[in-house]
Each structure stands twice: as structure tokens, then as C-alpha cells.
Amino acid sequence: MTDGGAGRAAPRKRADARRNERTLLDAAAAVFVTSGVEAPVRDIAARAGVGVATIYRHFPTRADLIIAVYRHQVEACAEAGPALLAGVASPYAALGRWINLFVDFLVTKHGLAAVLHSDDAGFDTLHAYFLDRLVPVCAHLLEAAAASGEIRSDVDALELMRGVGNLCIGADNDPRYDARRLVDFLIAGLRLPH
């Protein structure tokens, strides 16, 4: 309790450890851009100039590393939800804009959408993080749009988020597949005839 933090022990890590953690995050981000989020752990370690064990010391599993790399952007996306709802004309428009934000995030990260919905255990924490953080935001937008009578009221936020995420799989590096268009169709399909 001596530090102003969250009350946990927080035994300040050694300087080299903190330095390596930062180096690893940078290296991972760089490798993810060029080789996708499923890049071999060894590649990331090599890029950072450390051993593979160092990665696992800082990040219990690959999923945690991915979370750490993209945490800021996920948080930004989550926070954009209420802001859009407050600043845009209709809740449906806000929903559409927010979904676009999410899609833009996903399609610009090679393979992230794919790994996000892999049933491979070990990505469970990644899965859970994204869903825990974003589903409530989506649910809020859905409720508002349903309350205003713009969309049907039986749409489950979790289901929609997974659907949108799925639609983004393989959207990178293939010009014939435009995930944004399909997601727009999907969102349009939620509308009620007025």
C-alpha cells in the first residue's frame, strides 16, 4: 500500500526485465505487421535479440503477448462506443460506425481475426479478453438501436461480435474479399422494416 498503485505487491521489476519487456512488445508488433500474429515465437525472440524463454517469462502464453501488443487499440475501440452513441444522430448509425471501427482494427492485423476465433486452447485468454472488453459495448449499442426501433431486438451482442470477427478472417491480402462490405450487409440485415 505504500505505492499509489492498485494495492498489490508490485515488487518493481529489475531494469533489464522492464527493458526487455518493452523490447519484446516492439519486436512483436513489428513481426506481427510483417508475418502476422501467428509468427513463430522464435522469430519474435530473434527480432528482439532475446531467447524464447524470455518471452514466456513475460507473457505466459502467446495470447498474452498478442493482448499486450494490441491492448491500447482494443481499449480505444471500447471507449469509442459510448462516445459514438452520444455524438452521432441515431443509435443505428452509431452502431454502424462502431462496428466499422472494430472491423478496421481487425482487418489491418494480419491473421488476428483468424486466431481470435481459433478453437485452439491457449488462445482462450485472448478470446476472453476481446469479448469481455467489447461485448458489453456492443450490447449497449444494440440496446439503444433496438430501443429506438431501428433494429430487431433479438440480436445477441456476443453472437454479433463473433460473426463480425469471423467475417474479417482472411480479409487481408485478398483484394477479392472485402470484409467491410459483408459486415455492412450483415448490419443492414438487422434493420427492422419501418
Partner DNA sequence: CTACGATAGGGAACGTTGTTCCGTTTCGCA
Partner DNA sequence: TGCGAAACGGAACAACGTTCCCTATCGTAG
The one-letter amino acid code at 97 reads R
Q: Which of 52, 68, 74, 182 binds DNA (CB under 7 A)?
A: 52
- Shorter beta-carbon distance to a second copy: residue 83 or 188: 188
Asked if 183 and 138 touch (Cβ cutoff 8 Å), the reply is no
Of 57-65, 88-96, 129-137, 148-156, the segment contacting DNA by CB under 7 A is: 57-65
- Shorter beta-carbon distance to a second copy: residue 82 or 170: 170
- Shorter beta-carbon distance to DNA: residue 13 or 191: 13
When CB distances are held under 5 to 8 angstroms depending on the partner's kind, the choice from DNA, a second copy, none that residue 124 binds is: none
Give the residue among 34, 119, 29 at the shortest CA–CA distance from 73.
Answer: 29
Handedness of CA 124, 126, 128, 130 (dihedral sign): negative
Asked if 112 and 166 touch (Cβ cutoff 8 Å), the reply is no
Asked if 93 and 145 touch (Cβ cutoff 8 Å), the reply is no
Q: How many residues bind DNA (CB under 7 A)?
A: 25
Q: Does 34 bind DNA (CB under 7 A)?
A: no
When CB distances are held under 5 to 8 angstroms depending on the partner's kind, the choice from a second copy, DNA, none that residue 73 binds is: none
- Shorter beta-carbon distance to DNA: residue 16 or 26: 16
Asked if 112 and 106 touch (Cβ cutoff 8 Å), the reply is yes
What's the rounded Cα separation, in Å, for the pair 78 and 83?
Answer: 10
| Full DSSP string of 40-54 | -HHHHHHHHTS-HHH
- Shorter beta-carbon distance to DNA: residue 61 or 166: 61
When CB distances are held under 5 to 8 angstroms depending on the partner's kind, the choice from DNA, a second copy, none that residue 189 binds is: a second copy
Instruction: Pick out residues in 69-128 that bind DNA (CB under 7 A).
Output: 122
Helix (H) or strand (E) run with residue 94 in it: helix 91-107
Give the residue among 148, 136, 161, 159 at the shortest CA–CA distance from 92.
Answer: 148
Q: Tell me which residues touch a second copy (CB under 8 A).
A: 111, 114, 117-119, 155-156, 158-160, 162-163, 166-167, 169-170, 173, 176-179, 181-182, 184-190
Residues that bind DNA (CB under 7 A): 11, 13-17, 20, 38-42, 49-54, 56-58, 60-62, 122
